[in-house]
Amino acid sequence: MAQQAYVTETDSGGPAPERPGSRLRRALDGWRGDPGIWRRGLVTAGAAVLIALVMLFHAQIPNDVGNLGSLTETFLPWLGVFVPVLLVVAVVRKSATALIALLLPTIIWFNSFGGLISDKSGAGGDLTVATHNVNADNPDPTGTAQDVASSGADVIALEELTPAAVPTYEKALAGQYKYHSVKGTVGLWSKYPLTDSRPVDIKLGWVRAMRATVDTPKGEVGVYVAHLPSVRVKLDAGFTANQRDESADALGEAIADEPLDKVVLLGDLNGTMNDRALNAVTSQMRSTQGAAGDGFGFSWPASFPMARIDQIMVKGVEPVSSWSLPETGSDHLPIAARVDLSS
């Protein structure tokens, strides 16, 4: 039997435009009666199921060998990139089995990360904060400081400060920020008075974290600045994050012992909110990006951000909005957030 044609002729003898849905019907005709649609694409279907299982059970991936679990969790949202790729393969292969299997990772991804796509930012708030790993090799510290200050932040945290660069940052920020404190390689600049400023021991042997009380018009806020140890991916050692994990535990203990009810953590944690190794911190604080951000807010690397390892986290205050700032001379993007202290 000849295949039905969907193109008709007009009164003038030329072909008429295809009716809506004609292309779809023709595509489906190629699938009807083809038993191979269930046999083809089994590898593609298997890949879809594997991605779904990794997203669903990532917490069960062990960290004993090369911190594989933490490495997976660092880039967990990017597993969704494989879904449209596999979808194209499934369509080209005319595999119904693969198309059905792709529903699994699609549903799980949207359930896990779909809430980050929408804009949850709101108006209001009492305090704007910003944090930036300025990079020890930053060629333009003055411009970087001015760029971060242009966010309108009341409080700014800077990480990876070198002794040689500190005077430059102090000079660049002095006009807008009357109060500041630098401990080791991290510093805090504030429009409001700072008291009880002191280093926080995160088990490194040198200072990469500090704590201070910011006396805002809405009361005292305990502000922590931290730069956890860097992580690397090595062929012979895997994800080298053990030192970072130990520092995260120490930071979590310090925050748990904080006497003030309102607490803000600013810094480069060298890890994402999905990484179980940061549980000592993430279990007791909220991410402003997750609660009031617009999108994923990836902050590193600045040239093509792939992960949000710079964090603004809060306890006892309500996030109102959270955003990333334009690229500076650093390899990280600065991030900022506005919070409500009266909640």
Least confident of 26-40, 203-217, 257-271: 26-40
SS3 of residue 305 by DSSP:
coil
- Please check whether residue 11 lies inside any domain of the structure: no
The pLDDT score that the predictor gives to residue 232 is 79
156 and 175 share one domain: yes
Per-residue pLDDT at 28 exceeds 60? no
How many other C-beta atoms can be found within 10 angstroms of the C-beta atom of residue 142?
15
- Please check whether residue 1 lies inside any domain of the structure: no
Q: Average pLDDT of the chain?
A: 91
Least confident of 19-33, 91-105, 127-141, 256-270: 19-33
The dihedrals phi and psi of 268, each to the nearest 5 degrees, come to -100, 105
Please give the average per-residue pLDDT across 52-71, as a whole number. Answer: 92
Separation CA 115–CA 286 (nearest Å): 15
Residue scoring higher pLDDT (18 or 40): 40
Task: For 281-290, write each residue's pLDDT tens digit.
Answer: 999 999 999 9
Q: For a pLDDT cut of 90, what percent of the chain falls above it?
A: 81
Closest by alpha carbon to 311, among 341, 330, 291?
Answer: 291
246 and 315 share one domain: yes
164 and 252 share one domain: yes
Domain boundary among 116, 135, 160: 116
- Please check whether residue 216 lies inside any domain of the structure: yes
Per-residue pLDDT band at 1 (split at 50, 70, 90): very low
The pLDDT score that the predictor gives to residue 33 is 64
Separation CA 219–CA 214 (nearest Å): 8
- Please check whether residue 240 lies inside any domain of the structure: yes
How many other C-beta atoms can be found within 10 angstroms of the C-beta atom of residue 28?
10
Separation CA 151–CA 130 (nearest Å): 8
111 and 131 share one domain: no
- Verdict on whether the full-model pTM lies above 0.95: no
242 and 301 share one domain: yes
Per-residue pLDDT at 327 exceeds 70? yes
> What's 276's DSSP letter?
G
Domain boundary among 75, 93, 116: 116
- Please check whether residue 257 lies inside any domain of the structure: yes
Dig out the tokens for 251 from the structure.
């930071």
Residue scoring higher pLDDT (225 or 63): 225
38 and 181 share one domain: no
Closest by alpha carbon to 73, among 57, 52, 84?
Answer: 57
Domain boundary among 81, 116, 151: 116
Q: In terms of residue numbers, what domain contains 187?
A: 127-340
Task: For 216-269, write each residue's pLDDT tens digit.
Answer: 999 999 999 999 999 877 665 567 788 999 999 999 999 999 999 999 999 999
Dig out the tokens for 241 from the structure.
């994050």
Per-residue pLDDT at 190 exceeds 70? yes
Separation CA 313–CA 309 (nearest Å): 12
Query: Residues 261-290, buried b or exposed e (16+ Cβ, 10 A)?
Result: ebbbbbbbbbbbbbbbbbebbbeebbbbbb
Dig out the tokens for 237 from the structure.
């050692």
Total domain count, the chain? 2
Per-residue pLDDT band at 30 (split at 50, 70, 90): low
108 and 141 share one domain: no
67 and 199 share one domain: no
Per-residue pLDDT band at 36 (split at 50, 70, 90): confident
Q: Tell me, what CATH number does 320's domain have?
A: 3.60.10.10
- Please check whether residue 47 lies inside any domain of the structure: yes
Per-residue pLDDT at 2 exceeds 90? no
How many other C-beta atoms can be found within 10 angstroms of the C-beta atom of residue 45?
21
